[in-house]
Amino acid sequence: KPRIIIVCSALKGSYHSMLRAGIILEANASQHWGKLPTMKGSREVPTGRMMKCQGHRMMATMMDSQLKTLETPECRRVATASIEWLIE
């Protein structure tokens, strides 16, 4: 079966709800189910990775506002990965 992963910075619960509604509509139409991906971990890991990237658009100082805005998805269909597990 083909699998698709879509990544975006849906930081707020209201965005999660919109994505979830679309996933459920699509799932009912095609018999495929989706999950909302989320990551957990320390601020230092993504900040350190951004500092290593040349020409990265997002400044490390913006990480605090992103993490402050982040709301953990509140639904059963969530796939959580540790930031430390992800390969650069």
- Please give the Cα distance from 2 to 4 (Å, whole number): 7
- Confidence class of residue 63 from pLDDT cuts 50, 70 and 90? confident
- CA dihedral (25, 29, 31, 34) positive or negative: negative
In a domain, 3, yes or no: no
- Please give the Cα distance from 10 to 14 (Å, whole number): 9
For the cut 80, the answer to whether the pLDDT of residue 69 exceeds it is yes
Strand pairing class (36-40; 78-82): parallel
In a domain, 28, yes or no: yes
In a domain, 1, yes or no: no
Q: How many domains does the chain have?
A: 1
In a domain, 8, yes or no: no
- Please give the Cα distance from 46 to 77 (Å, whole number): 24
For the cut 60, the answer to whether the pLDDT of residue 28 exceeds it is no
Domain holding 23, by residue range, is 13-85
DSSP 40: E
In a domain, 2, yes or no: no
pTM: 0.54
Q: Residues 8-23: pLDDT tens digits?
A: 677 788 877 777 776 6
